[in-house]
Amino acid sequence: MPNATNSNVPTIDPRSGFCSKTGIYHSLRPPVPLPPLSAPLSFTDYAFSLLLHHSRDLTAAPALIDAVTRRRISFSDLLLRTKTLTSSLRGRLRKGDTAFVLSPNSVYTPVLYFSLLSLGVVISPSNPACSESEILHQVRLSKPVTAFATSASVHKLPDSLKRRAVLLDSPEFESLMTTSQGHQSQGRSELERVSVFQTDPAAILYSSGTTGRTKGVILTHRNFTSSLATVHAARAVRKAPAVHLCTVPYFHVYGFAYSLRAAAMGEKMVCMERFDFEVMLRAIPEFRVSHVALAPPVVVRMAKSVGVVDGYDLSSLEVVACGGSSLRTSVVEQFKNRFPHVLLAQAYGLTESTARVFSTNDSKECEVVGATGKLIPNCEAKIVDPETGVSLPPCSPGEIWVRGAAVMKGYVGDEEATAATLDAEGWLRTGDLCYIDNEGFLFFVDRIKELIKCRGYQVAPAELEHLLQSHPDIVEAAVIPYPDEEAGQIPVAFVVRQIGSVISGSQIKDFVAPKVAPYKRIQQVIFVDSLPKNAPGKVLRKELIKLALSRARPKL
């Protein structure tokens, strides 16, 4: 895709990237070359070509480390285990098969992912915390021929898969990674490489999409290759390789991509099987972590926790990457005040866009409070009026649409949902209300479906949540629509108070009221110990709506 940046095309604003003739925003970053689309190339081949080109002197260095057990896998061992596991699985799986993966994070997960991808097997990872009915729905979507699970999660698989599952915490899997178990004519089978094309499916990841029940997002080898290429092109020159700590789940697109790209760039990855705040704080100084990937609730906790973080040496920490949902401006400001030496790098993306399509690349971009970065290379965007379908200029909120090499192939087995999300020209309708400013920075407003319709006006929950979280007595807050005969809907706030706080609902309403228009005022406050969230850290508003509807209107 042409990445028209600039001066050669006078209709494109060099500051915002907006083309007044087409209504399209173009990336202001230099285009990143990608392999020819027709060339057979698995994501594994591309990733390892980067690793071997840039990191010949790192073969003995640790590539993967378990933050708790301290188990280490070197780069040379990563390559050898991937090659051996690929050979061992060759007789069990064929190109185009799907493998269901039900496991928490592990140092062996990247080995499994690289091996399956090199065989052209489609990876379908799921959250081990899902219920059996949720997993059954995912299995019906992806139609896997086998599964990789753990002793603790295998019981959730349907019987047909349970019988064919390989346990990742078993001697069998260790043997598959260390002892070649291919065909008898092993020498010949190793020479016969599987021809994987970039347009072939690489993974089926689960997402609610822009609305509705969980869908299976088909991401291709090209999607992951383009995502890695843009990150690799933007990496800063360093005296020593970065050390990453991944606290986000590998079954989510954020962790999936993050876990593989660190190895591809010759950078050490410290992994956590399950998130634990204190384990994270101990791991940063122990392994001299420079970059950590966090979900938004953890950033909130770091920003607001008093005394907990102070006893740990976080001097090695350079960058905190946050994705999955947007951070409130008040949280960003608190974080920067507490950790002035750490860059808070935000990004915007979806499962359907192979994660990030807007990102912050340097310290200057990270200083723009409230923004989630600029458009990545090889990508285009539009801001579309949800009512009229007209493309909007800078500083005008509308639904953000994106197009480029990272956009999904579609939803597995759901042509109707695919057509509703991807148009004929390749534009991905995100369902998110955003605007792009005059400098090309993206600002998230809210999910279009979550806007509250109060007295004919639209109220963005995110705006009220930002105000609520700026109060020192409030740890977290979420605002939902509540049905009202007169107004249609009214804003209701769920609030988590600071420990020891006795702030009342009326005090909270009084705090918000003078700062917003009358129709935006909080009408009810419900106190909770915690907000329900999914694995990436997004608040489950539907659960809160159910809770609000199930109880009597509180008297505050």
Q: What is the average pLDDT score of the chain?
A: 89
Q: Is 411 exposed, middle or buried (0-12, 13-18, 19+ CB in 10 A)?
A: buried
Which residue ranges form the domains of the chain, and what is each CATH number? 43-436 (3.40.50.12780), 451-550 (3.30.300.30)
To 5 degrees, how large is the angle CA 322–CA 65–CA 291? Answer: 25
Q: What is the pLDDT of residues 8-56, one digit of tens each?
A: 545 899 999 999 999 999 999 999 999 999 999 999 999 999 988 766 5
In 3D, which of 102, 91, 109, 104 has the Cα closest to residue 186? 91
Q: Where are the beta strands (DSSP E) in 198-327?
A: 201-207, 215-220, 243-246, 268-271, 291-294, 319-322
Pairing of strands 398-404, 428-436: antiparallel
Asked whether residue 341 carries a pLDDT value surpassing 90, the answer given is yes
HEC assignment per residue over 357-422 = EEECCCHHHHCCCCEEEEECCCEEEEEECCCCCCECCCCCCEEEEEEECCCCCEECCCHHHHHHHE
Q: What is the DSSP letter of 539?
A: B
Alpha helices in 100-155 (DSSP H): 109-118, 132-142
This prediction's pTM? 0.83
**CB 498, CB 525: distance < 8 Å:** no
Phi, psi of 396 (to 5 degrees): -110, 120
Q: What is the pLDDT of residues 235-267, one digit of tens each?
A: 888 888 899 999 988 998 999 999 999 999 999
To 5 degrees, how large is the angle CA 99–CA 210–CA 423? Answer: 90
Q: Out of 82-86, 106-110, 397-401, 511-515, pick the least confident.
A: 511-515
Q: What is the pLDDT of residue 154?
A: 96
Q: What is the pLDDT of residue 48?
A: 94
Contacting residues for 472 by C-beta, under 8 A, at least 6 apart: 498
Can you count the helices (H) and strands (E) in the chain?
A: 17, 26
Label residue 185 by pLDDT band (50, 70, 90): very low
Asked whether residue 307 carries a pLDDT value surpassing 70, the answer given is yes
AA identity, residue 339: F
Asked whether residue 190 carries a pLDDT value surpassing 60, the answer given is no
